[in-house]
Structure 1
Amino acid sequence: MSADIGLRFDTNGVDWAEAAAIFERAPLGTREPDTLRRTFENSDLTCFARDGERLVGIARALSDRTVQSVIYDLCMLPEYQGKGLGTRMMRAMLERLGTPSCVLWAVPGKEPFYARLGFHPMLTAMALSDDPEGAAARGYITL
């Protein structure tokens, strides 16, 4: 991993097929490039990590910029995981969001990463899903 990975906070020039490949390899599932583009373009904050010209990590957040934020889709290529890039991206996003409260969906098994950043498990969160059986099978919800 290059020491000079740059972070950008706009969607200009993003290759959405490349972003969708990162999403799949991370692995966070499959997203069509156009759907991924729309979700990022409609988000309040985006973060893209580039190693030179190569897109290696993506993340996004929704926020009221006053009280509450929600971080979604922090993901990076597997070869960049466990090397501090996710922490760097999260800290940069939390700083830019600046809200006293922030929640997120953690990929099952990744909770210790978020705990190191000060996040705590929620006891009362609820989810409405168009595929509850699939979400339960992936470990996101209980039925």
Structure 2
Amino acid sequence: MTFPYTIETDPNLVDYDQVTDVLHKAGLGSSSDRSANEKAFKNSDITIFIKDGDKVIGVGRALTDFVSQGAIYNVAVDPDYQKQHVGHTIITTLLEKLQGINIILYTHPQTLTLYEKYGFKRNKTAFSHFGHGTAEGLQWMEDEGFFLPDGYRFESEIGRY
């Protein structure tokens, strides 16, 4: 099967209203985050935009030192284009560009098994600190299952601390 869409990697050659729309439709932000999204993508080391003609239909980005560590963020596909290998193309392109280094990926609990198909492993030693999160946003993340319960301990930790 030939991939019918265009892969754009230059963050200066996309419409950030469209990028914001894709992120919003995928549940990764509000429709008013245009300037923040533009800044985030333009400050990233690697960017991937999938386009159907002039329309942005999928996005993803990564931060990396290109030596040992990288992190993937904002992988999103317009719901009208899901199940057409758009997300697969974003992930595999990012993984190719980050080849040979450790990669972390932060995702929604409902997509955990998707990333396992690409070799990602769940990590029990990671932490997150949301310095700019709102109380409402953090509560949504709590309700969606992003966090382990306060005081949660894996069996191997019990009695060690």
TM-score normalised per structure 1:
0.91
Q: Deviations over 1:14-38 (max 9, x none)?
A: 1111111111101223251000000
Counterpart residue identity of residue 42, structure 1 = N
CA contact (8 A) 1:28 1:107 kept: no
SS at match of 1:22: helix
Q: Give 1:3 shift.
A: 4.1
Q: Deviations over 1:72-112 (max 9, x none)?
A: 00001012122221111111111112242111011121111
2:37 alignment counterpart: 36
Identity of aligned residues (%): 27
Change (3 A) 1:29 1:139: farther
The separation in 2 between residues aligned to 1:45 and 1:19, in whole angstroms, is 15
TM-score normalised per structure 2:
0.81
Name which of structure 1's ranges 132-141 and 80-89 shifts more when overlaid on structure 2: 132-141
2:144 alignment counterpart: 138
Q: Runs of 4 or more off by more than 4 Å in structure 1?
A: none
Unaligned 5+ segments in structure 2 are 151-161
SS at match of 1:21: helix
User: Map of 1:96-111 to 2, 5 A cutoff?
Assistant: 96-111=97-112
Which structure's CA Rg is the greater one?
Answer: 2
2:20 alignment counterpart: 20
The separation in 2 between residues aligned to 1:54 and 1:116, in whole angstroms, is 28
CA contact (8 A) 2:66 2:101 kept: no
The separation in 2 between residues aligned to 1:83 and 1:93, in whole angstroms, is 17
Number of residue pairs matched by the alignment: 142
